[in-house]
Amino acid sequence: MSSMSTVTSLPNYDDYGMADYGIMDYDYVVPPYDFNITSTPPLCTQQAECVILVAVNVLIVLLGLLGNGLVIWVIGFKMRKRRTVTTTWYLSLALSDFIFCAMQPFNINLHATGVWNFGLFMCKFAPFILFLNMFSSIFLMLIISVDRCVSVVYAFWAQNNRTMKRAAVAVVVAWLFSMLLSIPSLEVRDTIEHGQVIQCYNNFEMSVFSSTLVPVFRFVLGFVFPLVIITGCYSIIIVRMKNNSMYRSAMPFKVMTALIVTFVICWFPYHIFILLEINHFHNEFMITGLKISMVLVHANSCLNPFLYAFMGKNIKRNFLSACVSKMENAFSEESPSESEKVVTFMSEAV
């Protein structure tokens, strides 16, 4: 990948994709203004839409850091002596979201200024973290879904073989695979200089990756394929346990269902608009859709802790105590007596 290049004219619109202020499109981030070498980006404070986008993203970052930090504290310290396979899954999810939120100030600055001020390394690293978050989140949800399915269908085997060591290995594999699939972001990102203005964009001209195949690749491996397996696992669980009220009302099952639905709602619009964008559907609807879809993508990183905290009823007056209590409840697995009930139920079913 080349270092920052200096140009005396802007690249053609269709060479790099959508060019519009405020769209944090990590597949096609380009100079957000069609300005010449002597012009400067308009001030964010002079545009209501820009101010709203920046304010919303700042709120998402604050809530994400606070909420995911609380989850990490609850699992890492409050529940340290009660560490389970389930808490291993959720701790990894929280770490992924926390890292993503910690990187967002760089993108908020880009929203506010229209200029990339952080050099080539961060130009590559910031989108890498976003896709690392996307892949690691969906892969961890896939692992959890398979784990739940196996625990229901093969209850005896799960009781003896569902160990912390194997859970840790599964998490490491998920993270390594997510890093591997996020490499295109490191390879294609580049900076370009227009006079005194620096922009961060995708430079596919010098890349081994295709500007068309990369978004399709991410959509298939980071959304469709895992979601198909997750749906299959949940279908098996529902069919197998439809007459068992314990699993139908189990907190871990409800929490996981909420996490998956939230992920789909937050990421599906983004993938759709990106696929439309690579086919050169450039209009006001696309511009608005990309802006909204990117806000949803960012919001996904801060929503999970609130799902953990508010899935239960009767929130206590003390908000912090309520959050900690509900999170511990959400992360807790079935008690030994309940596990025995599952084994008994499965024995009777067979």
Dihedral sign for Cα atoms in the order 150, 155, 157, 161: positive
pLDDT tens by residue, 84-102: 888 888 889 999 999 999 9
Q: CA dist 190 to 2, 193, 244, Å? A: 7, 10, 55
Question: What letter represents residue 227's amino acid?
Answer: L
Q: What is the pTM of this model?
A: 0.77
Task: Note the pLDDT tens digit of each residue in 268-315.
Answer: 999 988 888 776 666 677 777 888 888 899 999 898 888 776 654 443
| Residue 308: per-residue pLDDT | 74
d(CA 139, CA 176): 11
Q: How many whole angstroms separate alpha carbon 300 and alpha carbon 262?
A: 7
Provide, rounded to the nearest whole percent, the portion of the chain with pLDDT above 90: 24
Q: How many residues does the chain have?
A: 350
Say how far apart CA 106 and CA 109 lie, in whole Å: 5
**Rg for the chain (alpha carbons), in Å?**
22
- Which CATH superfamily does the domain covering 18-349 fall into? Rhodopsin 7-helix transmembrane proteins (1.20.1070.10)
Instruction: Specify the residue for token string 């806000």.
Output: 295
Tell me the pLDDT of the chain (350 aa) as tens digits: 444 544 433 333 333 333 333 333 444 434 333 434 345 566 677 778 788 888 999 999 999 999 999 888 888 777 777 778 888 888 899 999 999 999 999 888 888 887 888 889 999 999 899 899 999 999 999 998 999 888 888 888 888 888 889 999 999 999 999 999 999 888 888 888 877 778 888 887 776 777 778 888 899 999 999 999 999 998 888 887 776 655 544 566 777 788 888 999 999 999 988 888 776 666 677 777 888 888 899 999 898 888 776 654 443 344 455 566 666 666 665 444 434 443 333 333 32
Structure tokens at 265: 């709602």
Distance, C-alpha 297 to centroid of its chain: 7
Domain boundary assignment for the chain = 18-349
